[in-house]
Structure 1
Amino acid sequence: MPKEITHIKKLIDCESRLNDFYNICKEGMNDKLGAILFQFPPSYAFSKEKLGAILGILNYDFKNVVEFRHESWWNDEVWNAFKANNITFCSVSHPNLPQTIFKDFPMLYIRFHGIPRLFHSSYSTKELQHINHKIQSKKGFVYFNNTASEAGILNALELKRMTV
């Protein structure tokens, strides 16, 4: 989802833009579209109103994944609402967030951002083996966003070798 919708407008007064984006994805990607990722900024803290806004604006004809960067979203109210509405809570590897690998949502969706140094740090073979063991039987998406150097590419290739 464009940053304008999630970071700038934070879902407020953007129904038309959001629907346009969904339609472009459907027309352009069609059956190749895996999921739509909504990534919110670290300042976007949990509230019942924000949770309601998310639930009320998503197009449920798509596989929706929501990535939060504020720890307040790690709670049962959010998880239960997402599960009830077939929304995936994105697992994130981020220096300031819980390192939970969520496997009981509609799909597995993980984003590795780098720890301890955001976007820079590489994951060790041992860390990748641990992750691979946890996700072995699940289908889904794993993204490496520790791309300020070659770390993301090397980590992705190493994890891919482990899964073959």
Structure 2
Amino acid sequence: MTRPDLRIGISGWTYPPWRKNFFPEGLPQHRELEYASHALRTIEINGTFYSLQRASSIRKWHDTVPDDFIFTVKGSRFITHIRRLKDVAVPLANFYASGLLQLGEKLGPFLWQFPPTFSYEPARLEAFFKLLPRSSGEAARLAKRHDGRLPERAVLKARADTPLRHAIEIRHASFETPEFIELLRAYEIALVVADAGAKWPFIEDVTADFLYLRLHGHDQLYKSGYTPSALDEWEKKIRTWSRGGTPKDAVRLTPPPPPRKSGRDVFTFFDNTAKLHAPYNAMDLAARFGMEPAALDGFPDPRAVPH
């Protein structure tokens, strides 16, 4: 039986204040991804949220990180924030044709984040869910519908034949209804557990065969770090979810699903990136599961860099 995959990482990696702190002095900027991918086992690509990336850049990212590394990809804000899921078949095709399928076996779930002004509309959501590809082959076929508005030549062939998974992050109180949870379960889409204090809904219902956690900073959005006791609590929850169960103190809108004997994969990302907390919180939590950072040749251990 395949063991559940536990991935703990950071949202993005290009942050100037991290230089000479998390990133050691003397590390060239073009090697920052390489360094971060040795410290942690996953990174959320957030540049894809702001614009279509160059296929050449995506290919380089794939070749830079270790073989067992996983990227997750943040969906385009043109789809979620500007079009607000309306008439998005072609923009979705452009998104997948931009080169993302070159990530191959290193491609993890896609994150679709809705704006705080986006309220629950089941018909619009369901239409979007039906468009989402569930395999790299489906994504390649969808990519052929692109309209050519790409920064480089379209990539219409996947590097590897892999299943694709999707997660939804909501930020409007109207989503706090059992109907939404059941809709996600019907399409096997994960609800993002988003820890952001009281700013956005905090819901921990399990809706897919994996969990996707985004820890934005419980007290101050993007700024506050997580104390050892707070990491203790997240460790307990992650262990329970990974074993296929539901934490007793989980904040739920619906009854928990039956225990999953094969367990569940859990992806956890620290997005408290405005300060220097994210990489160290991530490494501290990962260490609790026996995942220690690896030093990059010629540079100190990531946890030894002063911060």
What code does the residue aligned with 2:165 have?
Answer: K
Which residue of the other structure, out of 200, 222, 227, is the alignment partner of 1:97?
200
Q: Are positions 1:53 and 2:127 aligned together?
A: yes
Q: Are positions 1:117 and 2:191 aligned together?
A: no
Query: 2: distance between equivalents of 1:82 and 1:48?
Result: 10
Query: 2: distance between equivalents of 1:51 and 1:57?
Result: 10
Secondary structure in 2 matching 1:38: strand
Secondary structure in 1 matching 2:269: strand
Quote the RMSD (CA, aligned, Å). Answer: 1.7
Which residue of the other structure, out of 88, 107, 115, is the alignment partner of 1:33?
107
Q: Are positions 1:149 and 2:251 aligned together?
A: no
TM-score, length-normalised on structure 2?
A: 0.50
2:190–2:206: 8 Å Cα contact kept in structure 1? no
Secondary structure in 2 matching 1:19: helix
For CA contacts below 8 A with separation 6 or more, give which structure has more relative contact order.
2
Q: Are positions 1:5 and 2:108 aligned together?
A: no
Secondary structure in 1 matching 2:274: coil
Secondary structure in 2 matching 1:114: coil
2:85–2:128: 8 Å Cα contact kept in structure 1? yes
Query: 2: distance between equivalents of 1:54 and 1:67?
Result: 14
Alignment gaps of 5+ in structure 2: 1-74, 136-163, 243-264, 291-307
1:102 to 1:163, Cα distance in 2 relative to 1, 3 A = farther
TM-score, length-normalised on structure 1?
A: 0.90
2:85–2:125: 8 Å Cα contact kept in structure 1? no
1:80-91 superposed matches below 5 A: 80-91=182-193
What code does the residue aligned with 2:186 have?
Answer: A
1:90–1:102: 8 Å Cα contact kept in structure 2? no
Query: 1: distance between equivalents of 2:194 and 2:286?
Result: 18
Aligned length: 163
**Structure in which a larger fraction of residues adopt helix:** 1
Query: 2: distance between equivalents of 1:52 and 1:2?
Result: 18
Structure (1 or 2) with the larger CA radius of gyration: 2
Aligned to 1:67: 169
1:162 to 1:34, Cα distance in 2 relative to 1, 3 A = same
Percent of pairs with identical residues: 29
